[in-house]
Structure 1
């Protein structure tokens, strides 16, 4: 615990090279969640490098001849008891309004740099069963060298999906005709939200959908172009080897991820998804009650 404490104080506080430290908080929920996460995270064992757990694979520490630890990297920080989990989540919730959302001031850039934000959606086809696909997609995007400044697990409502993909409707109608184009557009909305516009009404349109996606905001120089190059074209069969859609996509619709095609559209899409919304506090309060 002393090593963890020292690591947090050194790496999670203050600034380094003029930049604030960033961390990604993941909250897992489900049967025996604490124990199951504990088993996956594991411990750092100096003599073993089997790669069976996260820390076994990515964690490390080095000792000198006297046994003193001179280098320590735990890979992830996680609490392993119900009381410590509750305490930690309540603490993060307390500061979530200030430290969550989109981290606009976390990264510094050279004067005159063409800095953009762009939105990526990791689509519902990556969440049909427990797998490493979402992490694989994020890993490929990391090749761009851009920074993640926003992250949200989201269930898109039918109304949000209609607005998000609204510009696609006239394109499909022009290409396929009014009837077939509308039907193809509704397929997209249903794929992203779980509800078909022509089959839902009232509160069903605005309630969170049944399909899950991850929204990420990437920031950096020429971000829109860099992300779309790594993503590949809409049709996975036409995407180059190594691109996300070639490696993870299946069809023109089921193609792993979406990325904004311009900085202006990124702003529009982020507004629809509300990436900067603080949904952590509501989650913690619904679990443990208001503080």
Structure 2
């Protein structure tokens, strides 16, 4: 998950910069020196990204990765999902248009995320952002098993 965590760390930095200045100035009751928030954000971006990544893993699997034993990590998670593979020309762009923006608040009316999402994490659906991501994600969910019949029988 290294590349995911690295991208998340860079995203966290810009959010941290905004939050640090207002939080510290309010808490400390004085104006911070110019540029200090960038230095603090640089130090905090990796632990913040790790924290956010673990929240995502807990949401997806039902287990806190910080507290799960090695044996628990090997077991199937308690949360369920349905993985669909879209194929064809421009499949990624097409499905992402149907799903809408990641944040349901920003998604267009009639999109999956606008109609069924709650927030950025619970946004109703996931779609790969590239062919390489799709290939990696299909390996993770073991899409070649094609076990939809087993799932349908279990729940219906």
TM-score computed with the length of structure 1 as normaliser: 0.38
1:232 aligns to 2:100 (yes or no)? yes
* Aligned equivalents of 1:243, 1:280: Cα separation in 2: 24
The number of equivalent residue pairs is: 119
CA change 1:279–1:226 in 2 (3 A) is: closer
* Aligned equivalents of 1:278, 1:223: Cα separation in 2: 19
1:168 aligns to 2:36 (yes or no)? no
- Equivalent residue, structure 2, for 1:186: 54
Q: How much does 1:251 deviate?
A: 0.6
- Equivalent residue, structure 1, for 2:84: 216
- Equivalent residue, structure 1, for 2:42: none
Deviations 1:232-264 (A, max 9, x none): 111110111111111111111110000011122
- Equivalent residue, structure 2, for 1:19: none
The 5-angstrom pairing of residues 46-85 of structure 1 reads none
- Equivalent residue, structure 2, for 1:243: 111
Structure 2 portions without partners, runs of 5+:
13-44, 152-156
Deviations 1:152-180 (A, max 9, x none): xxxxxxxxxxx5xx533222222321222
1:198 aligns to 2:72 (yes or no)? no
CA change 1:280–1:245 in 2 (3 A) is: closer
- Equivalent residue, structure 1, for 2:121: 253
Q: How much does 1:279 deviate?
A: 4.8
Bigger Cα Rg: 1
Q: How much does 1:221 deviate?
A: 2.1
What secondary structure does 1:264 align onto?
A: helix
Give the RMSD, CA atoms, in angstroms. 2.1
CA change 1:223–1:182 in 2 (3 A) is: same
* Aligned equivalents of 1:209, 1:261: Cα separation in 2: 24
Q: How much does 1:200 deviate?
A: 0.8
CA change 1:221–1:209 in 2 (3 A) is: same
Q: How much does 1:220 deviate?
A: 2.1
1:264 aligns to 2:100 (yes or no)? no
Q: How much does 1:278 deviate?
A: 5.5
